[in-house]
Structure 1
C-alpha cells in the first residue's frame, strides 16, 4: 500500500492496480473565503497543490468521499467536481451522498451496505463508521459523514477516520479492529463559537496510544480554521514517545506501508 498526501484531507491510496483519490479539494490557493469571522481570516486553501499533483491525478482510477454536503468544500470542491465529471471517474460514496453527487453529473457508485454497514470492496470489504463532526450547537449544524475501514487481501487494513473528533464509538472501534494503518484529521479545526470539530493535538496522541498500528495525520496547514501545525504535532509526538508510529507527511509526500 502507498498513500500520497496531497493537501488537507486529500490523499491518493494505491491498492494494487487501484489508485483511489479521497476527498479531493483541487482549487487554487485563496479561492474560498475564511471560515471564521474574528480570527484566522486568511482565505482558503492557504497553500497551493504540491508540485506533481497533476501527474499523480492522471493515475487515479476511483474516488472515495467521506462527506460532501452543507458546504464542505475542503472535501469536495467545484474544481474537483469538474475534474471528476470530465473524466467520469467512478465515485464511491454512501447511499446518503449518492443523490447529491449524481445531481452534479458524477459517475456515482454508492456502496451497497449491509446491516453492519459493510460492503464488498476490490476483493475485500469496506466498512463505515459514523463521524462526529463537532458537538453541541455546532454539531447539530454540521454534516457528519462517515469514516471507512478498508480490508483488502494482501494489504494492511486501513482506517480513514474522516472529519471527526475522538468519540467513545471510535475508541471502541479501534480497540476491536486495530487497523494497521489509520489516517486521522489532526488540525483541531474550530469556528468562532464552540469547540473542536475534528481531532486536535491531544486527541491525535490519544488515538495513537489506542492504536497498535501506524497513524497518519493530515488536515494540517491548509485551511485557516485549523490551528495545529505539523511542527507542534511532531514535537508533542516526540515528547509522548509516539514519533515512530505517528507519521506527519508533508504535502506531496508518498508513504509506502507494508
Structure 2
C-alpha cells in the first residue's frame, strides 16, 4: 500500500491495481471563501497543490468520498466535481450522498445498505465508521459523514477516519480493530464560535497511543480555520514518545506502507 498526501484531506491510496482519490479539493490557491469571519479572513486553500498533481491524478482509478454536503468544499469542491465529471471516474460513497453526487453528473457507485458492516469491494471489504464533526450548535449545522475501514488481501488494514473529533465511538473502534494504518485529521479546525470540529494535537496524540499501528496526520496548513502546524504536532509527538509511529507527511509526499515496511516501522517504534 502507498499513500500520497496531496493537500489537506486529499490523498491517493494505492493498493493492487487501484489508485483511490479520497476527498478531493482541487481548487487553486485562494480561490475559495474564508472559513472565519473574525480576525484575518484568509481565502482558501492557503497553498497550491503539489507539482505534478495532474500527472498523479491521471493514474486514479476510483474516488472515495467521506462527506460532501452542506458546503464542505474542503472534501469535494467545484474543481474536483468538474474533474470527476470529465474523467468519468467511479465515485464510491454512502447511499446518503449518492443522489447529491449523481445530480452533479458524477459516476456514482454507492455502497449498499448495511455498509456499517463489511461489504465486498475491490477483492476485499469496506465498512463505514460514524463521524462526529463537531458538537453543540456548530455540530448541529455540520455534515457528519463517515469514516471507512478498508481491508484488502495482502495489505495492512486502513482506517480513513473522515472529519471527526476523537469520540468514545472512534476510540472504541480503533481499540477493537487496531487498524494497521490510520489516517486522521489533525488541524484542530474551529470556527469563530464553538469547539474543535476535527481532531487537534491532543486527540491525535491520544489516538496514536491507543493504536498499535501507524498513524498518518493530515488536514494541516491548507485551510484558514485549522491552526495546528506540522511543526507543532511533531514537537508534541516527540514529547509524547509517539513520533516514531506518527507520520506527518508534506504535501506531495508518498509513503510506502506494505506489510513488511509497516512491521519494520512498528518494530522500530517499540
Alpha-carbon distance in structure 2 between the residues aligned to 1:210 and 1:173: 11
Please name the residue that 2:27 is paired with: 27
Larger mean CA deviation between 101-110 and 30-39 belongs to 30-39
Distance in 2, Cα, partners of 1:129 & 1:152: 17
Higher helix share: 2
2:120 match: secondary structure: strand
| Equivalence for 1:168 | 168
Partners of 1:158 and 1:26 in 2: how far apart? Answer: 24
Give secondary structure in 1 for the equivalent of 2:95.
coil
Query: 1:119 deviation in Å?
Result: 1.7
Matches within 5 A, 1:133-144: 133-144=133-144
The corresponding residue for 1:48 is 48
Q: CA deviation at 1:115?
A: 6.7
1:146 alignment partner in structure 2: 146
Answer yes or no: is the 8 Å Cα contact 1:10–1:25 preserved in 2.
Answer: yes
Cα shift readout 1:166-205 (whole Å, capped 9, x = no counterpart): 0000000001000000000000000000000000000000
- Does structure 2 retain, via aligned residues, the 8 Å contact 1:8–1:219? yes
Counterpart-to-counterpart distance in 2, 1:62 and 1:113:
20
1:223 Cα offset (Å): 0.3
Task: Indicate yes or no: 2:131 matched with 1:131.
Answer: yes
User: Residue in 1 aligned with 2:241?
Assistant: 241
Distance 1:93 1:247, change over 3 A: same
Are 1:229 and 2:229 matched, yes or no?
Answer: yes
Deviates more, 1:32-41 or 1:214-223: 32-41
CA distance in 2, matches of 1:116, 1:84: 26
User: The residue matched to 2:128 in structure 1 has which SS?
Assistant: strand
- What's the offset of the Cα at 1:218? 0.2
Paired residues, number: 258
How do residues 142-221 of structure 1 correspond to structure 2 at under 5 angstroms? 142-221=142-221
Q: In the alignment, does 2:122 pair up with 1:102? A: no
SS of equivalent to 1:54: helix
Aligned positions of 1:107-126 closer than 5 A = 107-114=107-114, 116-126=116-126
Cα distance in 1 for residues equivalent to 2:189 and 2:140: 16
8 Å Cα contact 1:113-1:119 kept in structure 2: no
Q: CA deviation at 1:109?
A: 0.1
Contact 2:115 2:126 in 1 (8 A): no
Cα RMSD, aligned residues only: 0.8
Structure 1 runs (4+) greater than 4 angstroms displaced: none
8 Å Cα contact 1:178-1:212 kept in structure 2: yes
> Are 2:3 and 2:12, in contact at CA under 8 Å, matched by a contact in 1?
yes
Q: CA deviation at 1:40?
A: 4.2
TM-score by length of 1: 0.99
Q: CA deviation at 1:29?
A: 0.2
Shift of 1:41: 1.3
Ranges in structure 1 where 5+ consecutive residues have no aligned partner = none
Query: How far apart are 1:112 and its partner, in Å?
Result: 1.1
Q: Residue 34 of structure 1 contacts residue 40 of structure 1 at CA under 8 Å; is this kept in 2?
A: no
**Quick check: 1:64 aligned with 2:58?**
no
